[in-house]
């Protein structure tokens, strides 16, 4: 067991990039990643867990670098056959990726939990970090839009985030429990930092925050909670964060993200391009380059974020 452990709370692509940076700089068994499962859905009879798979593929160095999801060197024979026979093709399932969905579905149907299946997949992919679904209970992100309420993937992939968003709800969250793995990771005696990854706060981190007891677990841990800004120069690196903020009537600024996380976090990692917001943010700020172009950037951001968390721990001890 490592002397210090770290927990990351993550969605898909952006969160997985920072998780990889953390994995590369920490001792092998020191990292636990609690992953959003609000995007999960059933498609073509298969159970799809996009953020878990993005995390698995990224940490196993198998992810498609162009999309950030799916596997590298993928083939698309199944999708081509689907198209030829008039099957549904709006959600792209590569041939290699399909194996993961098929096997997950089979094992869930035979009574295994998503946590158990995910832990086994991670082991088989050679990943030392713990990848923990946020819950083994079903939680489903529903998006209220100008076209009515849509399921997450209908909104995100099928409608390409085009409908204006007026609200979000996480169906099932009120009755869901954080997974046993998540509870254990957050309760570890030697936990030194909790990182909210630069995933979309509204779509990807809020489902985690909607789980009853999650905030109490974070607070009871005693570890500093640090969020990494999902905005760089007033824009999202990837995905609809900025568009959704504007549609929800919020200013598209890191300050609005900090206010959204409010009393969940103890410190905020702000991109250097957004330095002008430092004075507006009413908590300790680390100003740094948060853009993760390559693995060196991911490692560096992971490293300075952990140093920042350590500094917050020292400050707390002195105060
Ligand atoms: N995202 C897309 O934009 N288009 C797709 O066709 C698509 C397929 C897909 C298949 C498996 C998987 O694990 C992820 C996939 N994603 C696709 C990404 C995913 O839907 C989103 O990135 C996340 O849910 C948001 O974090």
The Cα 91–Cα 74 span in angstroms is 15
Give the Cα separation of 11 and 29 in Å (integer). Answer: 21
Residue having the nearest C-alpha atom to atom 13 of ligand 1: 50
pTM: 0.97
* Span from the CA of 50 to the centroid of ligand 1 (angstroms): 6
Cβ–ligand 1 distance for 92 under 6 Å, the answer yes
Question: What's residue 319's pLDDT?
Answer: 77
Q: What is the pLDDT of residue 1?
A: 57
| Structure tokens that stand for 149 in this block | 């309420």
Instruction: Please work out whether the CB of residue 141 comes within 6 Å of at least one atom of ligand 1.
Output: no
Domains delineated in the chain: 5-318 (3.40.50.10680)
- Spacing, Cα 79 to ligand 1 middle (Å): 14
230 CB under 6 A from ligand 1? no
Residues near 9 by beta carbon (within 8 Å), at least 6 away in sequence: 15, 33, 34, 194, 195, 196, 197, 205, 208
CA distance 216 to 319: 22
Residue 317 has pLDDT above 90, yes or no: no
Number of residues that this document lists for the chain: 319
Residue 185 Cα to ligand 1 middle (Å)? 27
* Residue 91 Cα: closest atom of ligand 1: 6
Mutate to test the pocket of ligand 1, among 14, 83, 87, 91 (most ligand atoms within 8 A of CB): 91
Ligand 1 centre and the CA of 28: distance in Å? 28
Q: Which secondary structure element, helix H or strand E, spans residue 219, and what is its range?
A: helix 214-221
**pLDDT tens, residue by residue, 258-290:** 999 999 999 999 999 999 999 999 999 999 999
Tell me the three state secondary structure of residue 292.
Answer: coil
Mean pLDDT of the region 125-142? 98
> How far is the C-alpha of 254 from the C-alpha of 259, rounded, in Å?
9
- 245 pocket-lining for ligand 1 (C-beta < 6 Å): no
Residue 153, ligand 1, Cβ within 6 A: yes
51 within ligand 1 shell (Cβ under 6 A): yes
CA distance 43 to 101: 10
- Count CB neighbours of 88 within 10 A: 12
For tokens 């598209």, the residue is 252
What is the residue-averaged pLDDT of the chain? 96
Largest CA distance in the chain: 68
For ligand 1, say whether the CB of 41 is within 6 Å of any of its atoms: no
DSSP string, 264-313: G-SEEEEEGGGGGGGGG--S-EEEE-----SHHHHHHHHHHHHHHHHHHH
Cα 120 to ligand 1 centre (Å):
22
How confident is the model over 146-192, as pLDDT tens digits? Answer: 999 999 999 999 999 999 999 999 999 999 999 999 999 999 999 99
Question: Do 227 and 233 touch, CB atoms closer than 8 A?
Answer: no
């Amino acid at each position: 067991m490592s002397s210090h452990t770290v927990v990351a709370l993550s969605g898909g692509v952006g969160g997985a990039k920072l998780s990889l940076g953390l994995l590369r700089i920490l001792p092998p068994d020191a990292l636990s990643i609690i992953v959003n499962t609000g995007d999960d859905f059933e498609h073509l009879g298969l159970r799809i867990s996009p953020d878990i798979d993005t995390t698995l593929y990224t940490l196993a160095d198998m992810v498609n670098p162009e999309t950030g999801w799916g596997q590298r060197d993928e083939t698309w024979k199944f999708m081509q056959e689907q198209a030829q026979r008039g099957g549904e093709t709006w959600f792209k399932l590569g041939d290699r990726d399909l194996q993961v969905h098929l096997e997950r579905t089979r094992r869930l149907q035979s009574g295994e939990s998503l946590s158990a299946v995910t832990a086994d997949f991670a082991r088989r992919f050679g990943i030392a970090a713990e990848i923990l679904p946020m819950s083994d209970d079903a939680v489903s992100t529903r998006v209220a839009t100008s076209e009515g309420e849509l399921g997450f993937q209908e909104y995100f992939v099928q409608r390409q985030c085009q409908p204006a968003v007026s609200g979000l709800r996480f169906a099932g969250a009120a009755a869901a429990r954080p997974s046993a793995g998540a509870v254990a990771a957050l309760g570890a005696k030697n936990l030194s930092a909790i990182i909210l990854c630069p995933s979309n706060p509204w779509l990807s981190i809020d489902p985690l925050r909607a789980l009853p007891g999650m905030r109490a677990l974070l607070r009871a841990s005693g570890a500093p909670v640090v969020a990494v800004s999902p905005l760089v120069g007033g824009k999202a690196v990837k995905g609809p964060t900025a568009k959704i903020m504007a549609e929800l009537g919020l200013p598209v600024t890191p300050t609005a993200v900090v206010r959204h996380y409010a009393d969940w976090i103890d410190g905020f990692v702000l991109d250097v391009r957004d330095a002008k917001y430092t004075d507006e943010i009413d908590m300790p700020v680390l100003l740094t380059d948060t853009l993760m172009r390559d693995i060196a950037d991911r490692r560096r951001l992971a490293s300075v974020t952990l140093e920042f968390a350590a500094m917050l721990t020292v400050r707390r001890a002195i105060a």
